[in-house]
Amino acid sequence: MNRQVNQLMSQQVNKQAVTTIALVDDDRNILTSVSMALEAEGFGVRTYRDGSEALRGLTDQPADLVVLDIKMPRMDGMELLTKLRRQSEVPAIFLTSKDDEVDEVLGLKIGADDYIRKPFSQRLLIERIRAVLRRAGIGPDAEDTHNQNAIVRGDLVLDPDRHLCKWKDQAVQLTVTEFLILRALAQRPGHVKNRDQLMDAAYSENVYVDDRTVDSHIKRLRRKFRQYDSDFDMIETLYGVGYRYREG
């Protein structure tokens, strides 16, 4: 009897430990082939054919990471991610076609963590998924990547191990990119980080973003903190130079 109980508990723990990826694409072939590749790598996978279906499914059952196509019927990837960001900071990777550079920039501005152009290799997608999960502190590889101590700067606490941000003991929900930008600033208060340095801290070398994308992330960071503290002013802008986290 005890052995059966232990086996059930072990199965439950293992089930909970599986990292779940949500795939959202109207191309059935992509859903099938990518699902098989991810499951072969040990991921749990849920698939959705359009944005409306995905929004309902992810509201009921959140995933650890979302891979979503930009162009879909009923609700496209941009609208889906915008609505998801109202309720979740789940890491997101966009799938784009070759000529969607404008969409790529917009996607990063609204909170995507990476993008991959179609056609893509499944191995590349899997590696990019693993990279974003590591940055988010999710999954079995996270401990090796986020082995730093928490950063404490006055009322700010950043814990990379748990992807946890607190301001005056209140949890502030940040995307992976927002967290990495804030960490880059808070690591050395008073030191100015230019936009290139912040982009290097937040994105992989395969992702190109312009200056305005960094500015958009800074604006969202300020807005989120001011929801808890209307006087928040710790992120300073030095026009023509960059940004810094205030000392003291």
Asked if residue 120 and residue 165 are part of one domain, the reply reads no
Which pLDDT tens digit goes with each residue over 201-248?
887 666 666 667 888 899 999 999 999 999 999 999 999 899 999 986
State the chain's mean pLDDT as an integer.
Answer: 84
Asked if residue 188 and residue 101 are part of one domain, the reply reads no
Asked if residue 7 and residue 126 are part of one domain, the reply reads yes
Asked if residue 153 and residue 190 are part of one domain, the reply reads yes
Asked if residue 219 and residue 131 are part of one domain, the reply reads no
Q: Which long-range contacts (CB under 8 A, 24 or more apart) does 220-228 make?
A: 220/111, 220/178, 221/174, 221/178, 221/181, 221/182, 224/172, 224/173, 224/174, 224/178, 225/167, 225/172, 228/167, 228/168, 228/170, 228/172
Residue 183's nearest CA partner among 136, 132, 133 is 136
Asked if residue 155 and residue 115 are part of one domain, the reply reads no
Asked if residue 113 and residue 187 are part of one domain, the reply reads no
Instruction: Among 142, 174, 204, identify where a domain stops.
Output: 142
Asked if residue 165 and residue 120 are part of one domain, the reply reads no
Q: For residue 33, what is the domain's CATH number?
A: 3.40.50.2300
Which pLDDT tens digit goes with each residue over 132-166?
888 887 876 654 444 456 888 999 999 887 788 99
Instruction: Among 118, 142, 166, identify where a domain stops.
Output: 142
| Residue 56 domain boundaries | 2-142
Is 60 exceeded by the pLDDT of residue 1? no
Which pLDDT tens digit goes with each residue over 59-71?
999 999 999 998 8
Give the total number of structural domains in the chain: 2
Which pLDDT tens digit goes with each residue over 109-137?
788 888 888 888 898 899 889 988 888 87
Look at residue 172 in the predicted model and tell me its pLDDT: 92
Asked if residue 153 and residue 104 are part of one domain, the reply reads no
Asked if residue 207 and residue 159 are part of one domain, the reply reads yes
Which pLDDT tens digit goes with each residue over 93-113?
998 875 655 566 677 778 888
**Would strands 114-117 and 92-96 be described as parallel, antiparallel, or unpaired?**
parallel
Instruction: Among 142, 166, 197, identify where a domain stops.
Output: 142
Q: For residue 165, what is the domain's CATH number?
A: 1.10.10.10
Confidence of residue 27 (pLDDT cuts 50, 70, 90): very high
